[in-house]
């Protein structure tokens, strides 16, 4: 059970500055169709990078699906995030092949460099560090994926170098 995923902060800032009208086309496309809740949530996350409390409330109001149901589904699946993420999400693979080839070293090296823990976002909102179960590139283990680009046969140092280079390249 993904108990850890459930948001326990009570005083979340309600004014998150998101333009919720962007959700209208997604709602119009799926409203009333059976089995559409997951695509709606996927679309929402695609837009904002996460599913905000305000988005939950709007989706529930407009689709008529009870808030509890939407929340239940969103917290069940690993894909959905309830907090904003950085510009780039670093997904460090912790599948079996990566695990036996020391993927822990990658996560630890990145945690140290970025000064965040697994699952957290850097202060400048540039990177979010995540662990994922398997990216299916086991032959290149250990691997990580940053914004749909996969990097393989890593060491802690190389991972740090890649992360630093991406940031440098974008800041210039």
Partner 1 sequence: MVTTVTVGLGSCGIAAGAKKTYEKIKTLQEESALDFKLKKTSCVGMCYREPLVEITDDTGTYLYGEVDADRAVEVIEKHVVQHNPIRDYIVYTDLFEAPENNFMNSQVKIVLRNCGFMDPESIDEYENRNGYQSIKKILSEKISCETVIDTILKSGLRGRGGGGFPTGMKWKFANANKSADKYVICNADEGDPGAFMDRSVLEGDPHSVLEGMIIAAYAIEATHGVIYCRAEYPLAIKRLNIAIRQAQERGYLGQNIFGFEGFNFDIYIKEGAGAFVCGEETALIASIEGERGMPRKRPPFPAVSGLWKKPTNINNVETLANIPWIILNGAEAYARYGTEKSKGTKVFALAGKVRHSGLVEVPMGMTIRDVIFKLGGGIKKDKKFKAVQMGGPSGGCIPEYLSDTIVDYDSVNATGAIMGSGGMVVMDETTCMVDVAKFFLDFTCKESCGKCTFCRMGTRRMLEILHRISDGQGKEGDLEKLEEMAIQIKNNSLCGLGQTAPNPVLTTIRYFRDEYEAHIKHKKCPAKVCRPLLTYQIMEDKCTGCMVCMKNCPVKAISGERKQPHHINEEICTKCGLCFSKCKFEAIMIS
Which residues of the chain form contacts with partner 1 (CB under 8 A)?
1-2, 34-39, 41-42, 72-73, 76-80, 94-97, 99-101, 105, 108, 112, 132-141, 143, 148, 150-152, 156
To the nearest whole angstrom, how small is the minimum distance from the Cβ of residue 14 to partner 1?
26
Q: Is the distance from CB of 110 to CB of 163 less than 8 angstroms?
A: yes
To the nearest whole angstrom, how small is the minimum distance from the Cβ of residue 142 to partner 1?
11
Using DSSP bridges, classify how beta strands 127-132 and 88-93 pair: parallel, antiparallel or unpaired.
parallel
Q: Order of strands, edge to edge, in the sheet holding 127-132?
A: 127-132, 88-93, 144-146, 149-151
**Of residues 13 and 119, the one with the C-beta less far from partner 1:** 119
Q: Is the distance from CB of 22 to CB of 40 less than 8 angstroms?
A: no
Q: Which two tokens stand for residue 62?
A: 């407009």
**Of residues 139 and 172, the one with the C-beta less far from partner 1:** 139
To the nearest whole angstrom, how small is the minimum distance from the Cβ of residue 90 to partner 1?
15
């Amino acid at each position: 059970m993904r108990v850890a995923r459930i948001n326990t902060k009570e005083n979340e800032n309600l004014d998150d500055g998101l333009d919720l009208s962007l959700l209208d086309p997604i709602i119009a496309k799926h409203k009333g169709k059976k089995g559409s809740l997951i695509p709606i949530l996927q679309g929402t996350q695609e837009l904002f990078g996460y599913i905000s409390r305000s988005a939950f409330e709007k989706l529930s109001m407009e689709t008529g699906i009870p808030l509890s149901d939407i929340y239940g589904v969103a917290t069940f699946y690993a894909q959905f995030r309830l907090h904003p993420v950085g510009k780039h999400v670093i997904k460090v693979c912790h599948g079996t092949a990566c695990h036996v080839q020391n993927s822990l070293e990658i996560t630890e090296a990145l945690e140290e460099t970025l000064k965040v823990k697994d699952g957290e976002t850097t202060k400048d909102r540039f990177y979010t560090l995540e662990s994922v179960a398997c990216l299916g590139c086991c032959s290149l283990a250990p691997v990580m994926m940053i914004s749909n680009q996969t990097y393989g046969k890593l060491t802690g140092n190389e991972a740090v170098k890649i992360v630093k280079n991406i940031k440098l390249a974008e800041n210039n």
